[in-house]
Amino acid sequence: MSFAQPLALRSGAAIADYALAYETYGTLNAERSNAVLVCHALNASHHVAGSYAGQPRSEGWWDNMIGPGKPVDTDRFFVIGINNLGSCFGSTGPMQTDPATGRVYGADFPVVTVEDWVDAQARLLDALGIDALAAVMGGSLGGMQALSWTLQYPERVRHAVVVASAPNLTAENIAFNEVARRAIVTDPEFHGGHFYAHGVLPRRGLRIARMIGHITYLSDDVMNEKFGRELRSAVEGAASDGRYRYSTQEVEFQIESYLRYQGDKFSEYFDANTYLLITRALDYFDPAREHGGNLTAALARASAKFLLVSFSTDWRFAPQRSREIVKALLDNRRNVSYAEIDAPHGHDAFLLDDARYLGVVRAYFERIASEIAP
Amino acid sequence: MSDDNAQRLIASLVPHGARVLDLGCGDGALLALLQRERGCTGYGVELADGNVLQCVQRGVDVIQLNLDEGLSIFDDASFDVVLQIDTLQNLRNAEVMLRETARVGRTGIVAFPNFAHWPNRVRVARGRMPVTRRLPYQWYDTPNIRVGTYKDFEVLARKNQLRVLDAFGLQDGREVRWLPNARASTAVFKFERK
């Protein structure tokens, strides 16, 4: 969907003539009361559920959560996925041409924040004729958008489902983002963010950024269980008798092979400038900031009912951070339920099948559905 | 204690429209009853996944927390009533939790198994720990790690500057006000901070 009207951004800049890619699932009811907005995190998109015809392995990134008969049941809800501004999956982003200059945006793409995304999403809902959302939901950075929705447009959100998220990033978390950004920016093929003109991609930087990210999305336990100290040669069945290669640069351990594979895959489809933009949006998000760091004061604006979920081994968005949001909501006497799932998978758990997690979300959406039913 | 009459008796101690925190709320049945019939609002606190799920299914707001980690998430005097129904005896730091209950709520209501109920005394007199309908566990697998009596609680309440507003025993879903320490398998106390 194209937007001619400029969108004012938190940075003071504005973006005109932009487009947002979106998908919808299910049917909007006559009262327009069953809409659920699903917000995506760093490397996902508007394609939240279902598969594209004739394209095997094209399942949406939250296909285990959303669909007919699933916890967020598209037989009852009208689900909307929107690719955020600055991303690289169809919405206007750094890879596109700036109509004002006729050149590819590249590093000149304006810095966007979680709040800007929410404003852009709200405009898209306006165009769809949706005044109020039955629910807004998201995990990780998507959860930050869901939380921000309840503060920016409190009258338009009845329920917010915030999974594996946080009220802001800790110093350690910003530090991880910064290492990833430095990996990209210092790649000789980055060319100050204008690599498109040179016909190259800063793949090395993106690979390393992804490798770091991947480590932080898993837990020590799950990595040990999956890879342990297993040698690559053992997996390949080479006649090495499990001996070390005594090489500093060859892949020796399975975990190295896995990370390199993930990095390679990622560097082929993800835009380097988008990575910088989205990690910055994560860093900047801090609704308590304009309230002197007081999250309770910040969340006083929210009137939605909340479900929060966190995972015990998630150290990137630890349960403690979700509890801070819960506490601020309790202080404001808002309706809130909170499930802390004891799962081994780290931050990644929010995308995985866990009967307790999916069960709680399902039960919560049944409650939302019962409120909608006439 | 899941007995319907007992639940209704406890519910009747909670004022209409009260803001309630139910510590160890189980499947949320009591809170649902309080919301439905007494216009109360509030939250349950529960650790077990299955109970958390049932609360959400009932439309009861629930916070999944380990009570042994304390109640720091709740502000001082932020609830009219804090319930601890069959919870206190499972907590390692039962006294701290009692103080926390008094901090968070204007009124506290506690119910727990009374180990001085006469059948228990008989069993102990015979040299064995009690195993009854109310206390169906063996000594080595019981979750009831704080073994106390009706009278013990009176002493603990005094020690912690709690004013007892009402106290009685519960037996077979009925109030026991005469010799509750011997005649009731459950002790119920309603108290506030002095």
pLDDT digits (tens, 9 = 90+) for B31-81: 999 999 999 999 999 999 999 999 999 999 999 999 988 899 999 999 999
- Interface mutation target, options A299, A337, A341, chain B, most CBs of B under 10 Å: A337
Instruction: Identify which of A149, A126, A211, A226 has the alpha carbon closest to the alpha carbon of residue A176.
Output: A211
pLDDT in tens, B96-123: 999 999 999 999 999 999 999 999 999 9
What is the pLDDT, as a whole number, of residue A240?
A: 61
What is the pLDDT, as a whole number, of residue B101?
A: 94
Of B43, B49, B73, the CB nearest to A356: B49
Amino acid type, A262: Q
Q: Supply angle C-alpha B18, B78, A161, rounded to 5.
A: 90
Average pLDDT, chain A: 95
What is the pLDDT, as a whole number, of residue A56?
A: 84
Of A335, A340, A342, the CB nearest to B61: A335
Amino acid type, B173: G
Q: Which residue in this structure is represented by tokens 């594209």?
A: A52
Indicate yes or no: CB of B64 within 8 angstroms of CB of A340. Answer: yes
In the residue annotation, A314 being an active-site residue is answered as yes
Distance of CA A151 to the CA centre of its chain: 19
Of A307, A323, A339, the CB nearest to B73: A323
Chain B residue nearest residue A358, CA to CA: B53
With a cut of 80, say whether residue A373 has pLDDT above it. no
pLDDT in tens, A328-349: 999 999 999 999 999 999 999 9
Residues of chain A above pLDDT 90, percent: 92
Across residues A299-315, what is the average pLDDT?
Answer: 98
Residue pair A140/A216 in contact (Cβ under 8 Å)? The answer is no
Instruction: Identify which of A303, A290, A330 has the alpha carbon closest to the alpha carbon of residue A150.
Output: A303
pLDDT band at A374 (very low <50, low <70, confident <90, very high): low
What is the pLDDT, as a whole number, of residue A237?
A: 62
Across residues A25-32, what is the average pLDDT?
Answer: 96
**Nearest chain B CA: its distance from A260 CA (Å):** 37
Across residues B154-172, what is the average pLDDT?
Answer: 96
Across residues A360-367, what is the average pLDDT?
Answer: 98
- Interface mutation target, options A324, A338, A361, chain B, most CBs of B under 10 Å: A338
pLDDT in tens, A110-162: 999 999 999 999 999 999 999 999 999 999 999 999 999 999 999 999 999 99
| Contact A371/B at CB under 8 A | no
Enumerate residues 7 to 46 of chain B having a beta carbon within 8 A of any beta carbon in chain A.
19, 43
In chain B, which residues have their Cβ closer than 8 Å to the Cβ of A306? none
Distance between CA atoms of B59 and B36, rounded to whole angstroms? 11
Indicate yes or no: CB of B56 within 8 angstroms of CB of A337. Answer: yes
Indicate yes or no: CB of B56 within 8 angstroms of CB of A326. Answer: no
Q: Which two tokens stand for residue B43?
A: 């939250």
Distance of CA A53 to the CA centre of its chain: 25
In chain A, which residues have their Cβ closer than 8 Å to the Cβ of B63? 326, 330, 336-338
With a cut of 70, say whether residue A239 has pLDDT above it. no
Across residues A91-119, what is the average pLDDT?
Answer: 96
**Catalytic pick from A314, A322, A345, A348?**
A314
Distance of CA A208 to the CA centre of its chain: 19
Q: Supply angle C-alpha A110, A116, A119, rounded to 5.
A: 140
Question: What is the 3 state secondary structure string of chain B?
Answer: CCCHHHHHHHHCCCCCCCEEEEECCCCCHHHHHHHHHHCCEEEEEECCHHHHHHHHHHCCCEEECCHHHCCCCCCCCCEEEEEEECCHHHCCCHHHHHHHHHHHEEEEEEEEECCCCHHHHHHHHCCCCCCCCCCCCCCCCCCCCCCCCHHHHHHHHHHCCEEEEEEEEEECCEEECCCHHHHCCEEEEEEEEC
N-to-C CA span, chain A:
32
Distance between CA atoms of B194 and B183, rounded to whole angstroms? 29
Kind of pairing between the strands at A305-311 and A159-163: parallel
| Contact B73/A at CB under 8 A | yes
With a cut of 70, say whether residue A320 has pLDDT above it. yes
**Catalytic pick from A322, A345, A347, A354?**
A347
Residue pair A170/A193 in contact (Cβ under 8 Å)? The answer is no
What is the pLDDT, as a whole number, of residue B44?
A: 98
In chain A, which residues have their Cβ closer than 8 Å to the Cβ of B59? 367
Distance between CA atoms of A126 and B108, rounded to whole angstroms? 48
What is the pLDDT, as a whole number, of residue A18?
A: 96
How many beta carbons lie within 10 A of that of residue B133, not counting itself?
Answer: 8
Distance between CA atoms of A176 and A217, rounded to whole angstroms? 11
Contacts of A85 by beta carbon, 8 Å cutoff, 6+ apart:
A7, A15, A18, A20, A91, A92, A93, A112, A116, A117, A120
In chain A, which residues have their Cβ closer than 8 Å to the Cβ of B57? 363, 366-367
Indicate yes or no: CB of A330 within 8 angstroms of CB of B43. Answer: yes
Residue pair A299/A205 in contact (Cβ under 8 Å)? The answer is no
In the residue annotation, A271 being an active-site residue is answered as no
pLDDT band at A57 (very low <50, low <70, confident <90, very high): confident
Indicate yes or no: CB of A337 within 8 angstroms of CB of B57. Answer: no
Task: Give the residues across from A196 on adjacent strands.
Answer: none
Average pLDDT, chain B: 94
Distance between CA atoms of A152 and A146, rounded to whole angstroms? 10
What is the pLDDT, as a whole number, of residue B4?
A: 84
In the residue annotation, A291 being an active-site residue is answered as no
Indicate yes or no: CB of A340 within 8 angstroms of CB of B59. Answer: no
pLDDT band at B134 (very low <50, low <70, confident <90, very high): confident
Across residues A182-206, what is the average pLDDT?
Answer: 97
